[in-house]
Amino acid sequence: MSDNPNPISKRIAALPEATIIAMAQRARDLAAQGHDVINLTVGQPDFDTPTFIKEAAKQALDEGKTKYTPVPGTPELRQAIAEKFKTENNIDYTADEIVVSNGAKQSILNVCLALLNPGDEVLLTAPYWTSYLGLVLLAEANPIVCHAGVEENFKVPASRLEAALTNKTRLLILNTPSNPTGAVYTHDELAAIADMMTRHEQLYVVCDEIYEYINFTGQHASLASFAQARARTITVNGFSKAFAMTGWRLGYMGSAPWLAQACAKIQANVTSGASSFAQAAAITALKSDRAAVAEMIREYHARRDLVVKQLSAMPGVKISPPDGSFYAFPDISHFLGRIAKGHAINTTADFCKFLLEEFYLSTVPGSAFGDDKSIRLSFAASEQELTQALERLGQALASFS
């Protein structure tokens, strides 16, 4: 009989703690105690899902679209996604090369499980979205982290990625626009990665484009649009961010047909297809004129400008203005190794704990994203909240000795 009363598998025990969720919960706990907490932790639009999308879901329910769908998604939705890829991303995917999942995160896990064997290596560009690390570990692969700092706009060049490749490297996960930094890889930067792929035929790339529309440059490039990269690029996207549909749990991927089939096989054994009426509403979202999306993006852009202006004026803070997503990722390393209000601030986790406990401002430490110098602020919040949050941050920085 085992001496361990809680015999959790090694696979699960190896997963990193969900720092973002923990910080958000601590903020909620303090708010429940009556404190005026400003919570800038969770990456969720503060807008409601556009009314016409909700109405489409209601109509689907009334029409009886409440049954199981094909595992990779309804033919109608996959065709709509294929048309979106063609017209907006210059990628020719057929409906058979598309798999709809319960969120983009499931799409990435499907790819990891389909491609990776134990001991394979996966390149992550740090700062990275926290879940990438966990998904790689679930597939029993080894994460290899390539870092880029604020001076490089948090973008890892193709030359550094290529230098990190070994004969065990199987996958690169790329996120543009980026969570947590807002970095957007340019056409030329992606072209260099595409060219690098031609020299390493064992390498596949997941290009996570979930923040595609929340792009302040007006220029989004997709890695799979480069002919030399198309066959070994998996393009992942979804409805959560641009359409404010986080709770609907709908993501999708496009890939070579053999990989799409493998991902559908995995999904058939785990969750089957995504919600039927949500898929019906997603068709309406894709076929819309994007006016509602454009309005949300204009608001995010104004908030971005507000946050960047205030952070840039704070002595000791370094900021690379985010070109996309709804996050700022200021480098606060100037304040590490110092004392503030009796708190020893040695790590970004210490810094965020200090902000929350002393100033009731909830943020996420950069260590959760593979960066030990920065913190993440979500500006998916009202301008009033952001103004108050930045005032509190300024007061916190002024308290350092």
Quote the pLDDT of residue 1: 46
Quote the pLDDT of residue 22: 82
* CATH number of the structural domain spanning residue 207: 3.40.640.10
Listed in sequence order, the residues at least 6 apart from 179 whose beta carbon sits closer than 8 Å to its beta carbon are 43, 129, 210, 211, 325, 327
Name the pairing type of β-strands 142-147 and 121-126: parallel
Residue 387: both structure tokens together:
């103004």
* CATH number of the structural domain spanning residue 308: 3.90.1150.10
Per residue in 351-388, pLDDT tens? 999 999 999 999 999 999 999 999 999 999 999 999 99
Please give the model's pTM, rounded to 2 decimal places. Answer: 0.95
Helical H segments across 44-90, by residue range? 51-62, 75-84
Tell which of 261, 286, 311 closes a domain.
286
Check whether residue 113 and residue 37 sit in a common domain: no
Rounded to whole angstroms, how far apart are CA atoms 63 and 131?
A: 36
- Residue 73 CA: distances (Å) to CA of 44, 57, 116, 253: 24, 16, 24, 11
Quote the pLDDT of residue 42: 83
Quote the pLDDT of residue 2: 54
Check whether residue 41 and residue 61 sit in a common domain: no
Tell which of 286, 311, 333 closes a domain.
286
Quote the pLDDT of residue 4: 67
Check whether residue 44 and residue 60 sit in a common domain: no
Check whether residue 207 and residue 107 sit in a common domain: yes
Check whether residue 27 and residue 93 sit in a common domain: no
Rg of the chain in Å (alpha carbons): 21
- Parts of the chain with a pLDDT under 50: 1
Quote the pLDDT of residue 372: 96
Check whether residue 74 and residue 88 sit in a common domain: yes
Check whether residue 112 and residue 87 sit in a common domain: yes
Quote the pLDDT of residue 290: 92
Number of domains observed in the structure of the chain: 2
- 93 within domain boundaries: yes
Long-range contacts of 46-49 (CB under 8 A, 24+ apart): 46/380, 46/381, 46/382, 47/244, 47/296, 47/299, 48/244, 49/243, 49/244, 49/245, 49/248
Check whether residue 280 and residue 348 sit in a common domain: no
- 1 within domain boundaries: no
Tell which of 234, 269, 286 closes a domain.
286
Per residue in 76-110, pLDDT tens? 999 999 999 999 999 999 999 999 999 999 999 99
- 4 within domain boundaries: no
| Domain span including residue 251 | 51-286
